[in-house]
Chain A
């Protein structure tokens, strides 16, 4: 029983990490005021570019870098459309979703279904991995998971404890106030969007370079949407995103396993839970009936045009 639970937890972590990269990236982006609906597509692009690189070079470092690079480039284009050209963010997100989904399938055509020789292997952390139970769950994971162990506290610290983090929070609430103080709102938004897309691309790489070691069209299977819902569910807070990701991961894995024990409950029900949970979370955290201030960044999705001031 313990081993079953342990393996469920360990797998939940893997699942959680694969959506956390994108979710945390998007948290940064939305806190800066930009909503990117194309996450699913960018994830696919990250997955396919990482896979292609590793397939041809057998070099994981290069593959990881390629994923990030693709994310940064896509992020730049998205930022250009939304920040400089003042285009509607929802429409741009849709465009990216469709384009990237198609493009990823297109460039991945030749390597579909073929396994790569290399993937991110599990590394046992010395000493820590010997701890019973905890060690098996947390310290027998691969590089991408360990990287996330660092990213989470770093992002929490960044957002809540540094000047740059305060500026980020102000950016999504009231960009005009920053602009009048002479801070370059546009450059900041570009930076955060590119960061978000890079992180999203890494999420994709998690799937094609770690979770599995092959590529299939559309292999993210909706994880991008789960990551998106995680952003709102977590109230734009990386700490809660971590919990949410583990929760969603746990639910989906338990769901798969519980099929055997609880045949009455259809598997799709477990699939619905993250989405329903997000709607409820939104109601609780942003509904106008609340006495407290809404947690949603006030300037989210709004076009900031200096001339409108």
Chain B
């Protein structure tokens, strides 16, 4: 079928400090197609789209719209061309109604709100694209799936010709995701073009027309959806890897049971089920990996075990003692420590200095406070010991932690979390975004903890890390436990398949 591309991005290059987010990327988009951009976090998908939308200016490269070169200086340029995006975090005003939100987003609209006109347009598009939206509903009353539909409706009412959706199914149930793709297909049939950013291989193979895979800022592979297969995609996304360099491997055979989780059901922030009655066991002296695409429930699992999130049903016991309803303080004293995903929002306080962060969990311990009075000398000594043991680089113990580099911040956090010789260390994406040096150091620390007899629950999105570090790995997909394997008895392919929903 001869079609001219509606959009061509040529040689797009975008560099941030020392990171090459986009490295000479070429992308073509045809009218009437659903094009998937696949890749892991940090592969450059979001950056590329931000360039398209005029939010970032690329260092090199050109963009052609309908064959003509365009200059995306500001988001307004993109909007004028009819390019719109639905971000992961919706820009909707909660107390306003759907109609009011849409009216607000139409720039060329009238001054006075004509309720009927908007409602008419909304129901027109509703019918046309199978996009069920109630114009009178207030945003706060809508579920996440419904809110996303409002965002899409916004773009339609602005006559967008190219729609970009960032991880749209991340917040949807499988049924809702299906409905959404149906809508996208209708839009494509009308001649619009859709770019879907995703990391879910199955969905992309089923619903997209063409797939472009990004890895480390470059195009790793490009294909028609018909030509795609899980193997081909996994190889492109994760990279060719033999399970080489194994840093560890002494397998302790007789390990004691540490944690028993039964039928855990946990809800996420949006009120949807994040973990569907999963059960598993954790043993002392092992590194237990949790693999899965982002949003499969790993974060909720970590928070539920740590006590930050409530467990709706099911139970967890540690060394035979039920901990399901224990609060955080109790869990800390039982030996559970938590390295959270977002260290600056929870875990470290950027405005406070290193010493104050170092004792966040232990300020009540006798070593550090007596009758409620802080023992500054020993706190300082403790912090110093952290610095020495973990080679933490800093500008001064009294300076705010926010000034430290990510790697050093994380090292401090981990130093603190392992200080009490915890029994269970929950580590969520511990080396995400860190440089090689910090990564190696942190991995070393975790291995040492395992050798000491602790259990490390390691959540990671990098299969490399999972295979290098973990003794066993569990795979989560959409909140369900797909299977648990010993790492030396499985491979990338099997794990990849489980991650994309094939049950073991």
Contacts and interface: CB of A to CB of B under 8 A. Distances in A.
So, do A and B actually touch in the complex, CB under 8 Å?
A: yes
B94 A298 contact: yes
A293 B112 contact: no
Contact of B140 (A162, A169, A177, A293): A293
B40 interface: no
Contact of B112 (A162, A177, A182): A162
B94 A293 contact: yes
A290 to B, nearest CB: 11
Size category, A interface: 20 to 34
B433 interface: no
Contacts of A298: 94
Given A182-B75, A293-B138, A166 B103 contact: yes
B93 A169 contact: yes
Nearest to A164: B111
Contacts, number: 53
Interface in A162-199: 162-167, 169-170, 173-174, 177, 180-182
A110 interface: no
Given A170-B104, A182-B74, A182-B76, A163 B113 contact: yes
A229 to B, nearest CB: 21
A166 B111 CA distance: 10
A161 B104 CA distance: 11
Interface string A276-309: 0000000000000000110100100000000000
B113 A169 contact: no
Nearest to A180: B91
Contacts of A169: 93, 95-96
Given A163-B110, A166-B103, A170-B104, A293 B95 contact: yes
Nearest to B76: A182
Interface in B71-108: 74-76, 91-96, 100, 103-105
A295 B96 CA distance: 11
Contacts of B103: 163, 166
B109 A163 contact: yes
Contacts of A164: 111
Contacts of B74: 182
B479 to A, nearest CB: 26
Contacts of B76: 182
A160 B109 CA distance: 16
Contact of B75 (A162, A180, A292, A295): A180
A177 B93 CA distance: 8
Size category, B interface: 20 to 34
- Which among A160, A165, A170 has the highest number of chain B CB atoms within 10 Å? A170
Nearest to A298: B94
Nearest to A171: B93
Given A182-B75, A293-B140, A166 B96 contact: yes
Interface string B96-136: 10001001110001111100000000000000000000000
A170 B96 contact: yes
A27 to B, nearest CB: 15
Contact of B104 (A166, A180, A293): A166
B111 A170 contact: no
A166 B138 contact: no
Interface string A109-149: 00000000000000000000000000000000000000000
Nearest to A163: B111
Given A163-B103, A182-B76, A293-B138, A174 B111 contact: no
Contacts of A166: 93, 96, 100, 103-104, 113
- Which among B91, B95, B110, B112 has the highest number of chain A CB atoms within 10 Å? B95
Contacts of A162: 111-113
A177 B87 CA distance: 12
A308 to B, nearest CB: 12
Interface of A: 160-167, 169-170, 173-174, 177, 180-182, 292-293, 295, 298
18 contacts: A161-B112, A162-B112, A163-B103, A163-B113, A165-B113, A166-B100, A166-B103, A166-B113, A170-B93, A173-B93, A173-B96, A177-B92, A181-B75, A182-B74, A182-B75, A293-B94, A293-B95, A293-B138
- Counting from the closest, the 6 A-B pairs by CB-CB distance are A177-B91, A293-B140, A170-B93, A166-B104, A161-B113, A173-B93
